[in-house]
Structure 1
Amino acid sequence: MKMAYIKDLEEWASEFDFFIQVTVRFSETDMYGHMNNTVPFTYFEQARIEYLKRIGFMSDWLDPDGENIPVVADLQCDFVQQVFFDETLFIYVKTTTVGTSSIDVHYMAKNEKGHIVFTGRGALVQISKETGKGIPWTSEEKSLFVKEKVK
Structure 2
Amino acid sequence: MRASYIKDLTTWASEFKFSVQVSVRFSETDMYGHLNNTVTFAYYEYARIEYLKQIGLMNDWLDPAGKTIPVVADLQCDYLKQVFFDEALDIYVKAASIGNSSVDVHYMAKNARDQIVFTGRGSIVQISKDTGKGIAWTQKEKSLFVGESIK
Could you say which TM-score interval applies, normalised by the shorter chain? over 0.9
Q: Which residue of 2 aligns with 1:34?
A: 34
Matching residue's letter, 1:5: Y
User: Partner of 1:148: helix, strand, or coil?
Assistant: coil
CA distance in structure 1 between the partners assigned to 2:34 and 2:51 by the alignment: 27
TM alignment of 1:43-82, pairs within 5 A: 43-82=43-82
Pair 1:103-2:100 in alignment: no
RMSD of equivalent CA atoms: 0.9
Deviation at 1:65, TM superposition (A): 1.2
The amino acid across from 2:40 in the alignment is P
After superposition, the C-alpha distances for 1:54-77 in whole angstroms (9 at most, x for unaligned) are 000001101111110000000000
C-alpha separation in 1, matches of 2:70 and 2:123:
10
User: What is the TM-score when the length of structure 2 is the normalising length?
Assistant: 0.97
In structure 2, what is the Cα distance between the partners aligned to 1:76 and 1:64?
30
> So what's the TM-score if we normalise by structure 1?
0.97
Give, in angstroms, the shift of residue 136 of structure 1: 0.2
Gapped regions of structure 1 (runs ≥ 5): none
SS of the residue 2:148 aligns to: helix
Amino acid at match of 2:88: T
> Where does structure 2 lack aligned partners over 5 or more consecutive residues?
none
Report matched runs for 1:1-151 at 5 Å: 1-149=1-149
3-state DSSP class of the match of 1:53? helix
Q: CA deviation at 1:2?
A: 1.1
